[in-house]
Amino acid sequence: MRGFLTSSNGAPSIAVSSIGVTCAAALALPLSAPPAAAAPARPSGVAAAVRSSGAAVPARPSEAGASVRSSEAGVPGGTRSLPLVPLSRVRVLGTAPEQGLYRGDGEHFSLVGVVWNDPDTELHGRVQVRTRSARTGKWSGWQDVETHNADHGADPGTAERDARRVRGATAPLWVGESDGVDLRVRAAGRGARDGRTAEPQRPEPPLPSGLRLELVDPGAEAAPGGAPAQAPRTGPRSEAERAASAANTDLARFGALEIPALGKRATERELARLAGPVRAKPYIGPRPRIVTRRGWGADESLRQSGFVYTKKLKAAFVHHTASGNKYSCSQAPSVIRSIYRYHVASMGWRDIGYNFLVDKCGTIYEGRAGGVAKAVLGAHTLGFNNNSMGIAVIGSFGGTKPSGAAVKAVARLIAWKLGLSGADPRAKTYLTSGGGNLYPKGKKVRLNVISGHRDGFATECPGKRLYAKLGTARSSAARYQGR
């Protein structure tokens, strides 16, 4: 299956291979974490030498402390990329099995993640981080970062997946406004037992090469109600901004911060305008309110130009972002800007991977650019990005129940979006695998029209608590469509 690429102004250009990138979640390997400290302990030994200098491993000038900043005036935020250093003298196959980084102050970030050179290499081990609050000066306890993120990537063999800039990565973790960080990465088999470092009982894969800590600053936090704190007062200025806004002018005015909700009859009239006269009764849910990319403050200079489309939406895959649940609804735009920067600037994707995102208060946000009513090819479910869309609920739902507002928003969004193509949320459909760990490339797979990420790839995503709510989403979406 191939996608269709348009130029920045929306004019059709060339056909390109489908592109995919996905959400991530897997259970971390067991390791007992030490108690949290109110202030950083004094390092000793090798770790002390490493931490006192902050960068014991030399890096090329273009890499050490690399900073990715917006090129568009008035769009805040940025990314600091810092190489990790060995935390011991031990080496396994030439690689330090324990690496980390400590920055006591001087940073400004709200989201963290770890990346490495080869996207085909998995990190077998555990990643833990603690951060210092920029507001209180107190250090958090140690938090686990999801490491098994290979299921979040573009489909094998596609232009996006094969790009040289693509990296392997953990899931991103939202930590709130912070100014200090302490990170440690331990290879599998090197856990804490009785207070001592345990040696591996059998050979374990070494840590990936080129490990780097990504510190993402989303810029100013959003104001309550989902509107950006520094809402633009002028129209889109750059070509990329104009293209992203123009993609939604079939639904809202040019430069709109949100696409307003419609009633069912108005939505049916809009469907006739978009798709032509409908002979049979249309089954489509009322269009929900959607905050546009401009509404959540996307820096359009970060993503690749142009949009890529698939043929027809036949299914929706539900994800969680695995970025944690410690955010307020007013912070959701900041979380999205951070994930967007992490996907693009840190991991090397063309744009944010998801087509839509939903916060805990039920607000719906536009994800990958190209138009919310169009069949934009996302990068959310490795192997099944064609003819589908990806919806990510912001948070981690392995052990936490998703809010009723979020589940309702997912159902409302699917009832409208899949109603544009006539899909029944309670039905099943066939998708052709692009390759993955459950289904080989080319296999036709029968899936629910509303599926979880784990239905197309062996992963924990969207978390067992959110996955358990998909039956409710199916019945609710069908009811919203009038079925």
Rounded Cα distance between 268 and 277, Å, is 10
Q: How would you write the pLDDT of the chain (483 residues) with one tens digit per residue?
A: 445 555 444 444 444 433 333 444 333 333 444 344 444 443 333 333 333 333 333 333 333 344 444 434 344 689 999 999 999 888 877 788 999 999 988 889 999 999 999 998 999 999 999 999 999 999 999 999 999 777 776 777 778 887 778 999 999 999 999 999 999 999 987 554 334 444 545 567 899 999 999 999 998 754 444 444 444 456 678 999 999 999 999 999 999 999 999 999 999 999 999 888 777 788 999 999 999 999 999 999 999 999 999 999 999 999 999 999 999 999 999 999 999 999 999 999 999 999 999 999 999 999 999 999 999 999 998 889 999 999 999 999 999 999 999 999 999 999 999 999 999 999 999 999 988 888 889 999 999 999 999 999 888 999 999 999 999 999 999 999 999
Q: What is the pLDDT of residue 60?
A: 32
Which residues are within 8 A (CB) of 440 and not within 5 positions of it... i.e. 6 or more apart?
A: 433
What integer pLDDT is reported at residue 12 of this predicted model?
A: 42
Question: For position 72, what pLDDT does the model report?
Answer: 42
Instruction: Supply the pLDDT for residue 362.
Output: 98
Residue 432: C-alpha distances to residues 152, 278, 391, 435 (Å): 18, 28, 19, 9
Residue recorded with tokens 């990958």: 368
pLDDT of residue 345: 95
- The CA angle 265-271-272, to the nearest 5 degrees, is 95
**pLDDT the model gives residue 88:** 87
Distance CA 181, CA 171 (A): 17
Return the number of other C-beta atoms located less than 10 Å from residue 440's C-beta.
11
Q: What is the DSSP string of 55-113?
A: --S---TTTTTEEEE-SSTT---EEEEEE-EESSS--BTTB-SEEEEEE-SS--EEEEE
Q: What is the pLDDT of residue 31?
A: 41
